[in-house]
Amino acid sequence: MRVEPAQQALLTKAAAILQKDRSAFILDVACREAEHVLLDQRYFQLDEKAFKAFEDALTAPLPENSKLKSLLAEKSPWDE
């Protein structure tokens, strides 16, 4: 990766404090930031009306599903 000398010095110093080489430090920080980016995609805000509709959808009873009920009634293969 091409970086400015000041950036390289900064990364090297931070990595040394954590007793890591610069590549391991950069990879750790990049992965942590990637997790934050992905988590930001899962967080959302709703106004009161939209939240109520969302909450109602989550708490509404599930429709009858006879196939699922039948599957769950079967004995598990590891229980045989």
Write down the pLDDT at residue 80: 74
Give the span between the Cα atoms of 25 and 12, in whole angstroms. Answer: 9
| Span 10-36, pLDDT tens digits | 999 999 999 999 999 999 999 999 999
Which tokens belong to 7? 């950036």
Give the SS3 label for residue 5: helix
Write down the pLDDT at residue 73: 92
| Span 38-68, pLDDT tens digits | 988 877 889 999 999 999 999 999 899 999 9
Write down the pLDDT at residue 48: 96
60 close to 52: Cβ distance less than 8 angstroms: no
pTM of this prediction exceeds 0.85: no
What is the domain partition of the chain in residue ranges?
A: 5-61
